[in-house]
Amino acid sequence: MRPTFKHGKKYLIGLLGGISLMFFIQAKEQDSFFELTKNMEVFTSLFKELNTYYVDPIQPGKIVKTGIDAMLNELDPYTNYITEEDIEDYRFQTTGKYGGIGSTVRKKDDYIAIGEPYENSPVIKAGLKAGDLIIEIDGHSTKGKEIEDVSKFLKGSPGTQLKVKIREAITGAESVKTITREEINVSSVPYSGMVGPNNEYAYVRLSQFTERCGSMLRAAYDSLKRANPNTKGVILDLRYNPGGLLDEAVNICNIFMNGGQLVVSTKGKNEEWDKEYKTSGTPWDEKIPVTILINRNSASASEIVAGTMQDLDRGVVIGQRSFGKGLVQTTRNLSFNAKLKVTTAKYYTPSGRCIQALDYTHRNEDGSVGEIPDSIKTKFKTKSGRTVMDGGGIDPDIKTESKEAIRIISTLNSKSFVFDYATQYVSKHPSIASAKDFTLSDAEFDDFVKWLDTKDYSYKTKTEEALVKFKEVAEKENYYDAIKKDFETLQHTLSHDKMQDLLKNKKEIKRLLQDEIITRYYFQRGRLQNQLMDDDELKEAIKVLADPARYNSILAGK
């Protein structure tokens, strides 16, 4: 059938429209390229003039780094410029390995102190202990230095040595120690073990998604099941896990499901970032009951695993709503060994949801970023038809109460009183009970309270801070004189009793003290093992695994 003139006219209009759109897009691209070129020239000429005419010598590297950071601050917090000197820190995030002394460090008065030494690390071999002050490194004083500056001195190639002048925490005696740096490998699986009334459930903690962590996790479960053939269920702990490598999230899902299963898809501005990631190997166990523990600090790859297991009804998620990071970063090489870590895509779980909580593309007038409102969140369905939502992290199937920050506890931590008391405690106790059995007695807690008598741990409660703001507003509006007497009475009534706050939060403070003390004797592994003895999310996981009817009912959405 021949097209009529009427039809031909439509075709002509459509063709002209298409050509116009093509030229429009091309023009937009040219405009964008012109804007980029123009502004690069402006920046280069400005920098040249600044370097030539500014009254004092400038530091080009520092100024450019400041400028780049300010530019990237307009985007999301995950797009970062990584200088050559920061590459080692970046590699540690992806591999869990670095060359150094094997300890965290912390600020202590004017100096830097040994924080948490790793088991069998170079600092342990050199005889250093938590709390010891680092006075000098290779003859250079550390007084007034920040943690970042000192850390750079402590890191270096394995096999190299450094001399550190130490002031012993208890005696104050000073000595020079020689530390030989080693390759420090911080395992992504810091603890695994059997839990439950009859040790029938395999528990593994995963702290970060680094290279080969999927293999480590599988090996840990394999070892536990081999030693305990009657293992009835699995607990995967992703609490406080900030994420990491996307490929490893896929590998971990593959532990519990067959190959060929879609785990996550990504979509970006460029088609090259539109990808699907599927499992490709043989599962460790595709039928064993699984629970996944998450909290508000579980992010990125942790959310991919939790979200995928939830979407496919493969495991019960327990805890608090996760962080809500649905963005994918790619590393691009720059000149002079620098790198750009740039957000290139958003990721989507098998049901099709993106769990990004903050909308960085629409900032408020003050530059702040708001959460995606509930009104525009979309419902999605899991494999069995359960409703799940996008736009705000992973909502657990079983919610547990989140622990709010307590002001007195943050004060005791920020002023190092818990840390310092643990140092005193260790000097008086050559040994303690096993990591599993150790508990701080009431008498020892009372000793800590008595020790605090001479310390300044003053702070303002949130109510007191609100009252101060109320006073400021009342003064501005000329109401304060009329209510001054009532205000002072209220202020006196609200004035907190520090001793009562200590006693009221005794359980939480004892937990902090216990964690710090155990770490001094049994390191991170011992601390994690002890924490499991009083863990609400773990108790809930054991409870649901022990009740197959409830477990299956949750996954079926009944």
For helices 417-428 and 506-531, angle between their N-to-C axes, nearest 10 degrees: 70
Say which of 300, 302, 322, 351 is annotated catalytic.
300
Within 10 A of 131 (CB to CB), how many other CB atoms are there?
Answer: 23
Assess whether 325 carries a catalytic annotation. Answer: yes
Residue 459 and residue 407 in contact, taking contact as beta carbons nearer than 8 Å: yes
In terms of DSSP bridges, do strands 290-294 and 233-237 run parallel, antiparallel, or are they unpaired?
A: parallel
Whole-number Å distance between alpha carbons of 50 and 441: 64
Say which of 132, 237, 311, 397 is annotated catalytic.
311
Residue 244: phi, psi to the nearest 5?
A: 150, -125
Q: How far is CA 334 from the centre of its chain?
A: 26
Burial class of residue 23, CB neighbours in 10 A (0-12, 13-18, 19+) = exposed
Query: What token pair was written down for 555?
Result: 């996954």
Residue 31: phi, psi to the nearest 5?
A: -60, -45
H or E stretch covering 107: strand 103-108
CA distances, 315 to each of 255, 359, 465, 493 (Å):
12, 29, 43, 50
Residue 512 and residue 418 in contact, taking contact as beta carbons nearer than 8 Å: yes
Would you call 508 helix, strand, or coil by DSSP? Answer: helix
Residue 111 and residue 135 in contact, taking contact as beta carbons nearer than 8 Å: yes
Q: What is the DSSP letter of 136?
A: E
Residue 150: phi, psi to the nearest 5?
A: -70, -40
Would you call 482 helix, strand, or coil by DSSP? Answer: helix
Angle at 294 between CA 523 and CA 254, to 5 degrees: 95
- The residue among 470, 474, 454 whose CA lies nearest residue 462 is 470
Whole-number Å distance between alpha carbons of 217 and 226: 14
Would you call 415 helix, strand, or coil by DSSP? Answer: coil
Q: How far is CA 187 from the centre of its chain?
A: 16
Say which of 145, 265, 325, 395 is annotated catalytic.
325
CA atoms within 13 A on the CB side of 194: 15
Whole-number Å distance between alpha carbons of 196 and 544: 11
Residue 312 and residue 384 in contact, taking contact as beta carbons nearer than 8 Å: no
Whole-number Å distance between alpha carbons of 38 and 344: 25
Instruction: State whether the Cα torsion 437-441-447-451 is positive or negative.
Output: positive
**In the chain, what is the straight-line distance between the N-terminal and C-terminal CA atoms, in Å?**
58
Q: Where are the alpha helices (DSSP H) in 319-416?
A: 407-414
How large is the greatest C-alpha to C-alpha distance in the chain, in angstroms? 101
Enzyme catalytic residues: 300, 311, 325
